[in-house]
Each structure stands twice: as C-alpha cells, then as structure tokens.
C-alpha cells in the first residue's frame, strides 16, 4: 500500500513537448511510472518516444483522460501558463472521473494565480493538487515504482516510512537518512514551499494514518507561516504513528525571503524555533541536524516497538 499513487497509476504529462516535460517524462518512464500520454495545446496528434513506449500528445486534458484512462497528471509548463493548466486538469478529472490527482512541479507561479486556483478547486471536489513548486510524489515499488515529479528515483526503496516535505533536496536528504538506517519509504510527498499551495501537511498525515503499510512519518518543514504548528497540533489527537520532524531555517534572518516564496519570517512569526517547539509539544521526535533524522527515526521506531535497535 501507499498513499494516492501506486505502480498502476496512469499518468499524463502536461507540457510533455517542452524540454523539461520531455526530459522528465523519460526519467519517470525509466523508473517505471505508467506514462500514458501528454498534453500540449496545439501539438495534438504528435507522438513522444519514451523508454519502452511511444505515447500520444493531446490538445486537451479531457481528450487525454478519455483516451488513455489517466487518473493523474503532472505539470511542467512555464509559470505563466501553469495556473490555467492546473484548472484545466482539475475540471477534466472532476467532470470525467469525479476524482484525480494533479501534481504541479512549476516554480514561480504568481501568488494571486494560486489564490484563484485554490478557490477554483472548491468547485472540483475529489481532485487533489500537490504543489506547485515541489519535487512531486513517489511510491517506490518492487520493480521500479511510480515516480511523478523530478526527484532522483534511484535513492528510494520500498519500505514503511512516509515522508512529507516543503523542500526538494531536503526531501532527498530525508530519504537518504531513512535508507542509512535500513528503512524504505511507502510514499514521499513534496508539498512545495509556496505560500499558497495545494495539499498540506495535515492532509498527508491523514492519508498516512489510514495507510496500513506506513508505520512512521518523517516531516520536513521550513520557516514561514504556521502549517507545521497546525499539523503538530492536529497530530496530537489524530495521528497514532511516530513522527520525526525537522525544520529548516533556524539561522534565517527575519524579513528575508530564503529562496522559496513562502520561506520568510514576517513580524517575528513563522520561526524555526516556534515550529520545533510545536513539534516537541506534540510528542514529535526532533532532529536538529538533518543528518540525524535516521537516528531519530530509529529511536522513534524502537520506542513504538517497531524495531529492536
């Protein structure tokens, strides 16, 4: 088991004819992801050669879903076209399937576009958005697995740890940490570091709570906002599995945007210290150095009787 995606998930790539789209479609197919087609307006009828298969390009999402039976889409289109691409996918999945998963990798989407998108998604219940500005989602399998995004597939292995993270490379760091103590992953979700985005920590925790294979979760936050505090508060009463937490940005100066659009301490709020304190208060195992996530995970698993040492 895993959350939201598995080895059978059929995926359409929006922006597949662009350089990023083609590059990552090939990497995803290599990993074992079932890429069934692509969408680029005006390029319908073309074909794209991927490892082991040739997939069709469609003009519209609805056509792609009807023809291929896709249940998920991943977006690699440039920032200025990304918001319409998300709403098009959400509308098509909602209308045709009543549900769907839209993963937006694109960085630099205007914030007000995202405010419009999020309020639009209220009209498409059943459709889940992950991102934008995120590495995507991956469920490692027995042979390859399902990778929808830009993460290096080879660092992952199937296992029992769920990972949720606001940051890209720090997610990989967390994955490597689980591997360093002999643990694999059920699903890793990069939720992205933008101030206005789709799926948040709590929704991921909810899904991991229900997933019988996930036995512990690693949660990676960063400065800005209070999503981490809210998630910790929620987990207190609603999450039964051990969590290991890290927050990046303890040394970040206030008022400065640290790379991610959302990573900013404003008005003295959203500091790493505040978030670590909320984690501690919720009984979350803390790693203050990302290279100690593995160690903290072992302690958490041992305490829960899920590992001997």
Partner 1 sequence: MNIHEYQAKAIFRESGVPVQEGLHCTSVQQALSAYDSLGSKVVAVKSQIHAGGRGKGKLLSPKSGNLVMEGGVKVAFSRDEVEEYSSKILGNNLVTKQTGPSGKIVNNLYIESGCEIAHEYYLALLVDRESDSLLIMGSTEGGVDIEEVAETNPKAIHKQRFYPSEGLGIDKASSMAISLGLSGKSHDLFVEMALNLSSLFIERDCSMIEINPLVRSSDDRIIALDAKVSFDESATFRHPWRDELRDISEESEVEVRANEFGLSYVDLDGNIGCLVNGAGLAMATMDVIKMYGGEPANFLDIGGGANSESITAAFEIIIEDPNIEGILVNIFGGIIRCDMVARSIIEASNQTGLKVPLVVRFSGTNHKEGRKVLEESELNVVTVGTLGDAGEAIVSALGGSEE
Please select the residue that binds partner 1; options are 1, 49, 53, 250, rule is CB under 8 A.
250
Should residue 259 be labelled a site residue for partner 1 when binding is judged by CB under 8 A? yes
Among positions 6-65, residues that touch partner 1 (CB under 8 A) are: none
Kindly give, in sequence order, each residue whose CB lies less than 8 Å from that of residue 111, ignoring residues fewer than 6 positions away.
194, 195, 196, 261
Closest residue by Cα to residue 139 from 296, 300, 307, 8: 8
Would strands 136-140 and 145-149 be described as parallel, antiparallel, or unpaired? antiparallel
Query: Angle at Cα 284 formed by Cα 282 and Cα 289, nearest 5°?
Result: 135
Please select the residue that binds partner 1; options are 170, 191, 278, 300, rule is CB under 8 A.
170
Q: Which is nearer to partner 1, 97 or 271 (CB)?
A: 271
d(CA 251, CA 272): 8
Q: Give the pair of three-digit tokens for residue 175.
A: 């994955």
Q: Give the interface size with partner 1 as a residue count (CB under 8 A).
A: 62
Should residue 271 be labelled a site residue for partner 1 when binding is judged by CB under 8 A? no
d(CA 231, CA 181): 26
Q: CB 49 → partner 1: shortest distance, Å? A: 20
Should residue 256 be labelled a site residue for partner 1 when binding is judged by CB under 8 A? yes
Please select the residue that binds partner 1; options are 289, 305, 308, 309, rule is CB under 8 A.
289
Binding flags for partner 1, 186-225, as an x/- string (CB under 8 A)? -------x-xx-----------------------x-xxxx
Q: CB 115 → partner 1: shortest distance, Å? A: 6
- Cα torsion 243, 131, 137, 21 to 10°: value is -160
Would strands 72-75 and 100-104 be described as parallel, antiparallel, or unpaired? parallel
Please list the active-site residues.
260
Binding residues (CB under 8 A) for partner 1: these are 79-80, 108-116, 118-119, 135, 150-152, 154-155, 165-173, 176, 193, 195-196, 220, 222-226, 246, 248-253, 255-263, 267-268, 272, 288-292
């Amino acid at each position: 088991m895993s959350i939201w995606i598995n080895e059978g998930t059929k995926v359409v790539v929006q922006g597949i004819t662009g350089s990023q789209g083609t590059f990552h479609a090939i990497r995803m197919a290599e990993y074992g992801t079932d890429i069934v087609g692509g969408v680029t307006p005006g390029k319908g009828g073309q074909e794209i050669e991927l490892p082991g298969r040739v997939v069709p390009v469609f003009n519209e999402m609805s056509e792609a879903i009807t023809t291929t039976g896709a249940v998920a889409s991943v977006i690699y289109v440039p920032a200025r076209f990304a918001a319409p691409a998300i709403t098009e996918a959400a509308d098509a999945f909602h209308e045709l399937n009543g549900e769907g998963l839209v993963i937006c990798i694109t960085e630099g989407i205007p914030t007000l576009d995202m405010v419009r998108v999020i309020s639009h998604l209220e009209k498409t219940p059943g459709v889940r958005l992950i991102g934008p500005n995120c590495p995507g989602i991956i469920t490692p399998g027995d042979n390859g697995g399902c990778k929808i995004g830009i993460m290096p597939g080879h660092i992952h292995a199937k296992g029992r740890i769920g990972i949720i993270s606001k940051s890209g490379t720090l997610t990989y760091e967390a994955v490597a940490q689980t591997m360093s103590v002999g643990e694999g992953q059920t699903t890793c979700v990069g939720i992205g570091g933008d101030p206005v985005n789709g799926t948040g920590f709590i929704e991921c925790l909810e899904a991991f709570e229900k997933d019988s294979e996930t036995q512990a979760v690693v949660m990676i936050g960063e400065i800005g906002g209070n999503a981490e505090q809210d998630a910790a508060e929620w987990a207190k009463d609603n999450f039964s599995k051990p969590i290991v937490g890290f927050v990046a940005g303890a040394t970040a100066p206030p008022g400065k945007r640290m790379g991610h659009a959302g990573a900013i301490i404003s008005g003295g709020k959203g500091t790493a210290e505040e978030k670590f304190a909320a984690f501690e208060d919720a009984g979350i195992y803390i790693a203050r150095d990302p290279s100690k996530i593995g160690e903290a995970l072992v302690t958490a698993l041992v305490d829960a009787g899920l590992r001997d040492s």
